[in-house]
Amino acid sequence: MDRIKEFKGKILFILLFVTLLIIIFFLNKLPRTNWSVPPPRRPPATSPPVTKDTITPLKNTKHLLVSAFMDQRQKGFDVRIIGIFKRDSIQPLHCFFCSADRLCKETTPSKILQHSDNFGFPFATTDVLCRIPQNCDASYVTLVTQPEKDATTKHTWLPIRNKKTSGKNEKKPQFNFTVCVSNLFGDFNNVLQFAQTLEMYRLLGVNRVVIYNTSCGPELDRLLQSYSKEGFVEMVPWPIDKHLKPSGGWLFSEHGGDLHYYGQLATLNECIYRSMERSRYVLLNDIDEIIMPYQHNDLMSLMSTLEQQNPNAQVFLIENHIYPKKPFNESVMGSLPKWRGVPGFNILERVYKEEPDRNVFHPYKMIIQPRAVEQTSVHDVLKMSGQRFKVPPDICRIIHSPIKTPIELLIEQLHVDTRLLNFKDQLSPSVSKVLRRSGLLNSKGKD
């Protein structure tokens, strides 16, 4: 019996051993992807050095790059790069693309388009149009002076914005109205006017304000930080003075410098493209200007009427009217909040208006449909589709409240306009609230 048990044990051991060998044999025949343990991954490719700056010097040139956007409105091109180029140093450039982990195989020649308005300055806003190579899922772009095949470690790349995930499922714009405020500089600190203007725009239906900031005063910085946290204001750093000698004026022969008004034209164009896919309308104006409807109580009602009457218009020119500083008579106009201790002046006191001299050049600012505009200047667009429409001033005009005016007129030469005071009861508490939130107005004290 013992021998039989021993024999059976050996047979069982041999069967188990043979079964194990068979299993190992067939497992070795199976593809590796069927193993429960995944095969080791290849090390990831080095990510391209993508700039986080809003102004990027272009290597081997005197030019500056600002940002890149998908733009297929010109046949044969896919991407528009907005830059600031030295006008007398333009050379051929090539577009080089990459995705998040690999280079595209070829560079493509670019098309360079200088903006026609430069006001005589050596540097001007310039567009560079690029074509994405076939089979290239491009997320980043740079420019090179010579065709290259390996530039990841030698160049800084711009992210390509406004990329659509699907042309069939085009989303509605996130905002109805965006205001583009170009160029805070010179430690500007008119806090009260800034808060009043932003709150006035909020009442009129503006959803977003984009501000390009070179420098501002400490109190205004606190106000803007508060607005940024809330999400109403988008602050774009604009350190143009670190790269060029910007001019504080608009004409080179009079003011000198490298670039018009701290790069105002570049920021206006950048803001249009930044807002192109997310805002139905864009307002292009300065912070001391309010585009004010006179026959409607908000901008959407105004635009609905204007578009119904002018269905082919995509650019609406709004006439500028100056409201100089003059004594405000509270006994006649009514009392106003004082907002004591807040830097700046009260725009509700600006009730006297100059009559424009239409025998000389008279400036306009604009409300635009951004997808219709390719290039803009300050007072008119340079390239667009569709038509322009000059809005009559009795329908809408700019309330322009500058710190000072070049010519001081007597009150008898001015006209009374109390349109802003129509919003006083809504505007004043909103301004006080934001000033308190920013720590610029005593929460226990009176306005």
In a domain, 150, yes or no: yes
Using an 8 Å Cβ cutoff, are 196 and 281 in contact? Answer: no
Q: What is the pLDDT of residue 103?
A: 84
Q: What is the pLDDT of residue 232?
A: 98
Q: What is the pLDDT of residue 431?
A: 98
Q: What is the pLDDT of residue 40?
A: 40
What CATH number does the domain containing 282 carry? 3.90.550
Q: What is the pLDDT of residue 156?
A: 87
**Which of residues 126, 161, 196 is at a domain's end?**
161
The Cα–Cα gap between 239 and 84 comes to 13
Token duo for residue 227: 């607005």
Nearest of 211, 212, 105 to residue 148 by alpha carbon: 105
Buried b (16+ CB within 10 A) or exposed e, 408-437: eeeeeebeebeebeebbeebbebbbebbbb
Token duo for residue 239: 């350190």
**How many structural domains does the chain have?**
2
Q: How many C-beta neighbours within 10 Å does residue 386 have?
A: 17
Q: Are residues 363 and 261 in the same domain?
A: yes
Which amino acid is present at 376?
T
Q: Are residues 152 and 217 in the same domain?
A: no
Q: Are residues 85 and 145 in the same domain?
A: yes
The Cα–Cα gap between 89 and 91 comes to 6
Q: What is the pLDDT of residue 38?
A: 42
User: What is the span of the domain harbouring residue 321?
Assistant: 175-437
Nearest of 263, 302, 303, 331 to residue 124 by alpha carbon: 263
Q: Are residues 142 and 184 in the same domain?
A: no
Q: How many C-beta neighbours within 10 Å does residue 257 have?
A: 17
The position carrying tokens 């528009």 is: 80
**Which of residues 104, 130, 161 is at a domain's end?**
161
Using an 8 Å Cβ cutoff, are 428 and 347 in contact? Answer: no
In a domain, 359, yes or no: yes
What CATH number does the domain containing 153 carry? 2.60.40
Rg (CA), the chain: 31
The Cα–Cα gap between 212 and 190 comes to 16
Using an 8 Å Cβ cutoff, are 89 and 78 in contact? Answer: no
Which amino acid is present at 336?
L
Q: Are residues 203 and 352 in the same domain?
A: yes
Regions of the chain with pLDDT less than 70? 1-47, 149-153, 165-170, 443-447
Phi, psi of 430 (to 5 degrees): -65, -40
Q: Are residues 219 and 111 in the same domain?
A: no
β-strand pairing of 175-184 with 289-293: unpaired
Q: Are residues 296 and 397 in the same domain?
A: yes
Q: What is the pLDDT of residue 33?
A: 43
